[in-house]
Amino acid sequence: MGDSDTLVDVRQLTVDFGPARKPVRAVDGVDLSLKKGETVALLGESGSGKSVTLRTLLRLHPKSARTGGTVAVDGRDVLAMSAAELAAYRGRTVSMIFQDPGLAFDPVYRVGDQIAEAVKRHDGVSLAEGRKRALELFERVRIPSPERRLDNYPHEMSGGMRQRAMIALALACRPKVLLADEPTTALDATVQIQVLLLIRELQRELGLGVIFVTHDIGVAVEVADRIAVMYGGRIVEMGSCATVIRKPAHPYTRGLLTSRAGHAAQKGSRLVAIPGAPPDLANLPPGCAFAPRCPEVADGCLQTVPAPVPLDTGHFACCFRVSASSAPKELRRAIA
């Protein structure tokens, strides 16, 4: 199924948490695919299900979580893997970087040793070989004075450098897919742009597939080829980066773009805010999850969950109010 270029193929993924009698559906029927050398951004706010979707690819959920659907990475069924297969798969085929680099590093060991250890475990080479590779990686992620930094402990490095070291660790075993869970959210602006450019560059050089979770539209624009907008555990719109940003079809996407402070018409005017608050996953309305906040809501919206409506090539939106015939209006842009 699919060409050999497809690295990730997720079909109808559902993830439930909590007690069986009152489950909370964090992810509800997500279809996602990723090709080699492509970056897909999962854009959404709290409760959108973007992080849960990401973590499912590495099966990072507690045992009490119940998953449904199929998740195929590099042709293999992730949900059916045994513990041993998972251990070999994590880090080797798929790797992840987090918002908090502290999550990836053990504070009592030197950074270089940790990377060397990972290489040794996965590739079966000696520790010395591992260290050589760690040095290569540090150079690749542009850490200044790499030999010295290999001997640093995590707390001795600044935030931006720790993030680069975490990227190095993630790439240590030459994975095919890199998962990024809001890696730049906690970084200063000047450091954030450096890390984003680094990720873009590494992806080009290594031919990685990248799935990048973020809540910041600007970040998504900088890294993504395609953007999937998520709301209430579902993908509500997906398309190429340019299409979603310039011709958003789903009212939520339009709302996100027009409510940005950078989009405001002029000083003194008010922002066009989306009313209400992000949904409570334990109490989703029966139909479209966005209906309670939607400016274009109609009667049918609260009855059934809208199916994807194809708009352009590779562009679709899950909304009853859009159709292929009425092309989505281009967004007026005042201040970029």
Closest contact distance (angstroms) between CB of 60 and other proteins is 22
Task: Give the chain's largest Cα–Cα span.
Answer: 66
Nearer to other proteins, 64 or 158 (CB): 158
Nearer to other proteins, 24 or 88 (CB): 24
Residues ≥6 apart with Cβ < 8 Å to 310: 316, 324
Phi, psi of 315 (to 5 degrees): -115, 125
Nearer to other proteins, 132 or 293 (CB): 293
What is the helix (H) or strand (E) element at residue 68, kind and residue range? strand 66-73
Nearer to other proteins, 107 or 275 (CB): 275
**For residues 62 and 245, is the Cβ–Cβ distance under 8 A?**
no
Closest contact distance (angstroms) between CB of 243 and other proteins is 9
What is the helix (H) or strand (E) element at residue 230, kind and residue range? strand 226-231
Sheet holding 315-317, edge to edge: 94-97, 177-181, 209-214, 39-43, 226-231, 234-240, 315-317, 309-312
Cα distance from N-terminal residue to C-terminal residue, the chain: 41
Closest contact distance (angstroms) between CB of 263 and other proteins is 9
Closest contact distance (angstroms) between CB of 12 and other proteins is 27
Binding site for other proteins (CB under 8 A): 45-46, 144, 158-161, 188-194, 196-197, 215-219, 221-222, 241-242, 245-246, 255-256, 259-262, 264, 267, 270-278, 283, 291-293, 295, 297, 302, 333, 335-336
The one-letter code for the residue type at 288 is C
Nearer to other proteins, 36 or 293 (CB): 293
Nearer to other proteins, 291 or 311 (CB): 291
Closest contact distance (angstroms) between CB of 101 and other proteins is 13
Q: Is 312 helix (H, G, I), strand (E, B) or coil?
A: strand
Closest contact distance (angstroms) between CB of 2 and other proteins is 26
Residues composing the chain: 336
